[in-house]
Amino acid sequence: MSLHLYNTLTRQKEAFKPIHEGFVGIYVCGPTVYSDSHVGHGKSYVSFDIVVRYLRYLGYKVLYVQNITDVGHLLDDGEDRMLRQARIEKLHPMQIAETILRSYFEDMDAMGLVRPDISPRASGHITEQIELVKALLDKGYAYEVNGSVYFDVRKYADYGKLSGRTVEEMLEGTRVEVRSEKKNPQDFALWKRAEPEHIMRWPSPWGEGFPGWHVECSAMSMKYLGEQFDIHGGGLDNQFPHHECEIAQSECATGRPFANYWIHNNLVTVNGQKMSKSIGNQITLKDAFKKFDPLVVRLFILQSHYRSTLDFSDEALLGAKSGLEKLLNTVRNLRTEAAKARGESRAAAAAIDLESYRSRFLAAMDDDFNTPQATAVLFDLSREVNALLSLETKFSAASLEAIDALLEDLGGRVLGIVPEGSHAGLRADMKLEADLVQLLVDLRAEVRAQKLWPLSDRIRDGLKKLGIVLEDKKDGTVWRKG
């Protein structure tokens, strides 16, 4: 088996073969930085985080480019998203971009996402976009009207090949323009003339204006990954028109194929309903994090396939929370036991067929990044480890460490939910916290040895109030965050 992925362009699962052996160039449509990310963004970027992590796990050198849209993303009424937010908050659009960009990376960092290698900004690549528009005009694929430049879709026979839409279907989603300067309603803007009130504007061969939304992704992906590259990703809502337009303008400008594989993640619903600003049921990640640890949200996203819709509800997240706690408790108890074993000479090997777990896990991931199956394998392993740890047998350090290494490899490196290092279930910055809990656990053992039962209860109750639950096992007490 080798990695197969579903290519939207061909509508089938294909064996993955990069252009240059051992190297993968991937471009993912990033956020428009005008308001805090919602759980839909969470699903999209966690999905592509897995793609990048898994490709790296397989040994590929991956160059991961994810753009930042800070200009040109227009609303249905034609107003620029950034400018509208700037107008509401009475700030320069670049202040909004700066603040929201920081908020975006805060949220992504919290969920343990690997940062993109390059995060190019649309406003930072005006020159490159103008060059692309010039090339399309030179080759006759575009035309200028009143200081704006449009792509002429009739000149590109393959228009529609990604979304599979006919010209009639495309028109349905298009805003009716009363007095259009376009030749065909489905033509799209490459460059727009700036009206006097438009703050974000740059000089161009066609007068002062700003780039159309689609053109940034063509200009920036090709700048950093080359004219033809391996993977282009994005949310399903970007398939049409955004990605269709990207393909048209890129392939016409260069005369060669653009991205080889197109990956689209499906969308998030909330309690069964489509999430949208107009319904008012959008949940920001920051709000979700108030109720649930960011890693719970991450696991929740991984427990459905990226090409399935994901229904967001508190009940469903409570399930992921309980799952994550069980997994992390297993890891912590395993590591505690391994630490004890290191000081003793033990012969018994913990007999788990690790290679079978690994191959089941990889088979799931190779099958179009099937994370629900892969996490299920991880939970199976966790259950078997738990059963093992409850036995009287004293297992050898080496055999316990081998299990830990597999859990960290699959659950950590690939899925990003099992933490590294020796304080499992806790992040590195919480080391003192773990040491303080351990001091209390040790004290409790001492007062129990002295039969000072009220003090023992006092410690257990005091910890419980702080959300820490003790469990007395045969050979000692383990604790978990309840």
User: Would you tell me which residues interact with its own copies (CB under 8 A)?
Assistant: 63, 92, 94-95, 98, 102, 115-121, 123-128, 130-131, 202-203, 224, 429, 432-433, 435-437, 439-440, 442-443, 446-447, 452, 455, 458-459, 462-463, 466-467
CB of 213 to its own copies, least distance (A): 17
Smallest distance from its own copies to CB 208, Å: 11
Smallest gap from Cβ 96 to its own copies, in A, equals: 10
Residue with tokens 């630490």: 339
Prior bond of 241 cis (ω within 30°): yes
Would you say 209 or 241 has its CB closer to its own copies?
A: 209
Assess whether the previous peptide bond of 31 is cis (omega < 30° from 0).
no
Q: Which is nearer to its own copies, 457 or 471 (CB)?
A: 457
Residue placing its CB nearer to its own copies in the complex, 110 or 354: 110
**Angle of CA points 460, 465, 468, to nearest 5°:** 65
User: How far is it, in rounded angstroms, from Cα 45 to Cα 121?
Assistant: 17
Residue placing its CB nearer to its own copies in the complex, 203 or 372: 203
Residue closer to its own copies, measured from CB, 167 or 436: 436
In the bound state with its own copies, the residue whose beta carbon lies nearer, of 156 and 202, is 202
Nearer to its own copies, 338 or 437 (CB): 437
Whether the CB-CB separation of 141 and 183 falls below 8 Å is answered with no
Is the CB of 124 or the CB of 147 nearer to its own copies? Answer: 124
| Smallest distance, its own copies to C-beta of residue 360, A | 35
Contact 449, 476 (CB under 8 A): no
Residue 115 CB, nearest distance to its own copies (Å)? 7
Q: Would you say 243 or 460 has its CB closer to its own copies?
A: 460
* 80, 71 contact by CB (below 8 A): yes
Phi and psi at 168, nearest 5°, equal -65, -45
Q: How far is the CB of 253 from its own copies (least distance, A)?
A: 15
Contact in structure between 253 and 139 (CB atoms under 8 Å) = yes
Order across the sheet with 142-145: list the strands. Answer: 142-145, 148-151, 188-193, 209-211
The least CB distance from residue 48 to its own copies, in Å, is 17
Burial of 245 from C-beta contacts in 10 A (0-12 / 13-18 / 19+): buried
- Closest C-alpha to 251, from 125, 120, 148, 151: 151
DSSP string of 240-253, one letter each residue: IIIIHHHHHHHHHH
Name the minimum Å distance from CB 102 to its own copies: 7
Q: Between residues 462 and 476, which has the closer beta carbon with respect to its own copies? A: 462
DSSP 170: H
Cross-strand pairs, 64: 26
Strands 259-265 and 273-274, by their bridges, are: unpaired
Residue 399 φ then ψ, to 5°:
-70, -35
SS3 category, 43: helix
- CB-nearer residue toward its own copies: 420 or 442: 442
Q: How far is CA 468 from CA 266, 297, 339, 413, 438, in A?
A: 37, 21, 21, 27, 11
Query: CB of 45 within 8 A of CB of 108?
Result: yes
What are the structure tokens assigned to 437, written together? Answer: 């809990």
Residue 44 has phi, psi (to 5 degrees) of -60, -50
Q: How far is the CB of 299 from its own copies (least distance, A)?
A: 21
Rounded Cα gap, residues 34 and 69, in angstroms = 9
Please, which residue, 352 or 459, has the CB nearer to its own copies? 459
How many CB atoms lie under 10 A from the CB of residue 432?
Answer: 8
Q: How far is the CB of 135 from its own copies (least distance, A)?
A: 11
Instruction: Name the one residue in this structure whose structure tokens are 């303008």.
Output: 249
